[in-house]
Amino acid sequence: MQYRSMSASDKPPTATNRVDIIVVGGGTAGTFAAATAANAGLDVVLLERKSKSEAGQIACGDAIKGKISFPNVIDLEYLKEESFSNQDIQRAIFRNPVENQSLEVAFDGHGTVLNRKRFGEVLLEEAVRAGTTVEYNTVVADVLQDDGEIMGVLGTQHGEPITYLADVTIDATGALSILQDKADFTDSTFDTNVRYSQFCSAYREIIEVPEPVEWDDAIVFKPTEELGYLWYFPRSATELNVGLGFQMTESPMKLVDVLQQELRSQPIFDGATVKNKLGASVPTRRPYDSAVAPGYIAVGDAAGHVNPSTGGGITGAAKGGYWAATQAIDAISNDDVSEVAFWRYNHKVMTTFGKRFAAIDLYNIWATGYDVATLAEIVASVPGQQLADAIGGSGIPAMGIWEKLKTLISTFGHWSELRELYQVRQLAHELSTHYAAYPTDRSGFEEWQTARDSIMDDFHAVCAAASKY
């Protein structure tokens, strides 16, 4: 068999390793995938570019909203004891810069803010305990591909050339995957309609403040320019994860400068100590239409499995990694690693959190048609809970007659925008229903895409936002 590298030489380096499954990336999706496959007795290697001391450190908000539901393939109690810093998050606070208005939304169950470094370390420990071989300081730079099938990866390990061959490669490399840049997906269904403008650039700091905050039971958000938001997530009453991001469809934002300006404006940060700084890219788009190709499955951020409004992706990554590995196990046992053999993974993602993320993405796209000031005025004018209900599902018509009249008066000048928002809500529901009917096999895929694109055409007919896809 002649292996074909997409960009390097055709001849693999001398250090070649053969395993059942390669997992590239040691984040949440990668570790859950590796632990799942190793628990089933497969020979699994996880390739992590960072050193062992740096592994686990990932830039994110560290918050999980509401009830946590992770696949039961690791010691979840150990994970909780070691890394769940604040388990008493009961609400979200949305700070509106107009008139200093705030919207509070109570959670159905408590949320959690993590010590993300320790969280990542425990996941790697658990993957090893399950039987995974973790190789640190390994930078994957290319794929090996034969007749469309991904056969393995090329890279360096501690600076030396290395090759790994496997039946299945699971891509958990995060946003803007290098593997997807190198692979040829021409003859597969894998989603290649991916551009940098569908992502968000983010930056966060871990800050110790001198005095306890009053809102240590809440995660706090505040909108910024460039369709971004600031967040304040309390790991404890005095240790905060504070960060911000902006949508890459907009003008570049000087993230560090904007964050520093925000912190200087609030007395609670006087005398504060910065403990850690980190930046990242996050997908703020709908899930990939298909995240499989022969011999290859993408998971987590590498497949767009992130809430496009908040950037939250920890729970989806854990589930996606588990589902991908489960499908890979079946495929290997049947000696069939075609995309048809992986299709159930696509179906599982799309009919669960995928349909919700695709619907939420419509609100993100709609918002790009307006400036932040207009959006803030709308939020300030509409009763907060009703606005949340309008997007969440129960709708503004649930308001009483006097509240409706007051809302009509206060939103004078924004009726056309609210009419659009109502239409967007209807289309978001239609889109979610369509994703729930994602095809159970490969044969109905193109027809499903065509129908989905028709819903998107209807969406763009009612709003001025530019097409994201």
Better-scored residue on pLDDT, 110 or 452 = 452
- 54, 156: one domain: yes
Domain range for 98? 88-102+197-283
296, 183 Cβ separation under 8 angstroms:
yes
Residue 198 tokens read as 């569908």
| C-alpha closest to that of 136 among 42, 204, 57, 36 | 57
End-of-domain residue from the set 245, 264, 283: 283
42 and 155 share one domain: yes
Q: In this structure, is residue 295 part of a structural domain? A: yes
Domain count, the chain: 3
* pLDDT at residue number 69: 84
Quote the CA–CA distance of 349 and 338 in Å, as a whole number. Answer: 18
pLDDT at residue 379 above 70?
A: no
The pLDDT confidence band at residue 355, using thresholds 50, 70 and 90, is very high
Local confidence band at 98 (pLDDT 50, 70, 90 cut-offs): low
* Cα 141 off chain centre by: 23
Q: Are residues 34 and 146 in the same domain?
A: yes
For residue 27, being part of any structural domain is answered with yes
Query: Which CATH number do you get for residue 207?
Result: 3.30.9.10
Domain end, chosen from 232, 260, 283, is at 283
Rounded to the nearest integer, the mean pLDDT of the chain is 86
Let me know whether 130 and 146 are in one domain. Answer: yes
- In this prediction, residue 28 has a pLDDT band, given cuts at 50, 70 and 90, of very high
Does 108 map to a domain? no
Mean pLDDT of 345-374: 88
Query: Using 50, 70 and 90 to split pLDDT, how confident is the model at 154?
Result: very high
Distance CA 182, CA 204 (A): 30
**Same domain (yes/no): 166, 233:** no
Q: Do 96 and 55 sit in the same domain of this protein?
A: no
Q: Are residues 399 and 444 in the same domain?
A: yes
* 133 & 50 share domain: yes
Q: Within this chain, do residues 46 and 161 fall inside the same structural domain, yes or no?
A: yes
DSSP for 105-162, please give it. Answer: EEEEEEEEEE-HHHHHHHHHHHHHHHTPEEE-SEEEEEEEEETTEEEEEEEEETTEEE
Return d(Cα 338, Cα 177) in angstroms, integer: 21
Predicted pLDDT at 110? 81
- Asked if the model's pLDDT at residue 93 lies above 70, the reply is yes
Indicate the range of 70-84, 99-113, 116-130, 174-188 predicted with least confidence. Answer: 99-113
Asked, for residue 236, whether it belongs to a domain, the answer is yes
In a domain, 57, yes or no: yes
Same domain, 338 and 376: no
Of the three residues 283, 307, 336, the one that is the final residue of a domain is 283
Same domain for 214 and 340: no
Residues 242-280: tens digit of each pLDDT: 998 877 776 666 878 888 888 898 899 999 999 999 988
Is 439 within a domain? yes
The CATH number assigned to the domain holding 143 equals 3.50.50.60
- Structure confidence by residue, pLDDT tens digits, 216-250: 999 998 877 655 678 999 999 999 999 988 777 76
Q: With respect to residue 107, please indicate whether it lies within any of the assigned structural domains.
A: no
For residue 82, tell me if it sits in a domain.
no
Q: Do residues 127 and 182 share a domain?
A: yes
